[in-house]
Amino acid sequence: MRQTALMESEVIVLGSGIIGLTSAVVLAEGGRRVTVWAREPAEETTSAVAGGLWWPYRIEPEHRVVDWSVRSFEVYTRQAERAAETGVRMRPGLQLGAEVAGLGPWRRALREVRAAEPAELPGQYAAGVRATVPIVDTATHLAHLRDRLAAAGGRIERRTAGSLDEAGRAAPYVVNCTGLGARELVPDPQVRPVQGQLVVVEDPGVAEWVVAAYRDATATLYALPQPYGLVLGGTAVEDAWGTEPDPAVAEGIVARCARIIPEVAGARVLAHRAGLRPARPAVRLEAERLPGGALCVHNYGHGGAGVTVAWGCAEEAAELLPAPAA
C-alpha cells in the first residue's frame, strides 16, 4: 500500500492557505508529484480573510525575513502585470508613523520609497513613508494558485492529518504549512493566535493604501483599496481564539479610519471579517526526519506576514528537499 501511495504523491503539503498553496505550486512546477491535504478549502482559511498588503508585520527573525520578503516582492511585481488573473496590484500608499531609515534592510525591495511630505500627513502624525508595494486580493490569488497547481499536475484533497507521521506514511516528503494548526499537530506550543478583525466598505474613491500599525498595538489602522471594496482595519489581539466579528470593535475600526479618511464614515458596510494570524516568536522553516523515516519540512509561524513572505519561504522550503529525480 505504501508503494501505491508513493507512486501517487512524492510530496504531501499540509495546509491550503497562501503558504501551503504557494509551496505546493513551487514544488509541482519544479517537477514534484504533489498532493495538498486541506483541512478546509482555501476560501475558508485565514489567508482568505487577510487584507493582502505586502509589508513585513509581526514576523521574525528579521535577518531571514529580509530575503523572503524581497523575493516575494519580485514575484508579485511580475504577477501584477496580470492583475485580473493573479489578484496582485502594485499600489502607492502611506505608512504612518514610520521613517525610511527605520524600515529595516528589506526596504531595498520598495519602489519609489521616500519620506512623506508634511502636507501628506494627517495632523496627528509627524512622520510617514510613501512607497509602492503589492496589494493582493487573496480570494483571486488563492484561486490562481489552485489553477497553477492543477496545471502542474498537483491536486488538492480534503483531508485532515491526524499526525505528521500519517502524512509521512503517504509520501516520502511532507511540507507542513498548517499555520495555527501546527500548535496541536506538531505539537508546537510556541504557535499562538493573534486575532484580527476588519470591515469591508464600499470604496468612496480611495486610490492609495494607508497604514498605521505599530508592532505591539492591539488596535491598528489601515485602509486598503481592493477590487471588491475598501478594507478597513484592524485589530491584533494576542491569544484570542474567537473568529466571530464583534460589532463594537467594527465601529471602532471605522471610527479610527474615518479620522484619517473622513469619507469612510458614511460608507456602506459590505462585510465583516475576523481571522487568527498564526504567530510564533520566529518562523519555523527547517527540515526534520519523522520517526517513520519521511523527511518533513516545516513552514509555519508567519504571523501577519504570510502574503509578504509566501514565495520566498516556499522556494526555501523546496530547497530543503533533495533534488527531484531526473
Domains in the chain: ranges and CATH: 2-91+135-191+280-319 (3.40.50.720)
Give the separation between CA 174 and CA 160, rounded to whole angstroms. 14
- Amino acid 111: pLDDT: 78
**Nearest residue to 134 via CA among 93, 84, 103:** 93
Mean pLDDT value of segment 151-168? 97
Is the pLDDT at 7 greater than 80? The verdict is no
Angle at 70 between CA 66 and CA 74, to 5 degrees: 170
What is the spatial distance between Cα 237 and Cα 233, in angstroms, rounded to a whole number? Answer: 13
What's the mean per-residue pLDDT of the chain? 94
- In this predicted structure, the answer to whether residue 116 has a pLDDT above a threshold of 50 is yes
Interval 212-262: pLDDT, tens: 977 678 999 999 999 999 999 999 999 999 999 999 999 999 999 999 999
Task: Give per-residue pLDDT as tens, 36-79.
Answer: 999 999 999 999 999 999 999 889 999 999 999 999 999 999 99
Segment 301-312 shows an average pLDDT of 97
Distance CA 116, CA 131 (A): 9
Instruction: Give the model's pLDDT for residue 326.
Output: 61
Q: Is 290 helix (H, G, I), strand (E, B) or coil?
A: coil
**pLDDT band (50, 70, 90) for residue 324:** confident
Question: What's the CA gap between 163 and 149, in Å, rounded?
Answer: 24
Look up residue 297 and give its three cell numbers. Answer: 519540512
Q: What is the pTM of this model?
A: 0.95
**pLDDT value of residue 8:** 64
Q: Which helix (H) or strand (E) holds 147?
A: helix 138-151
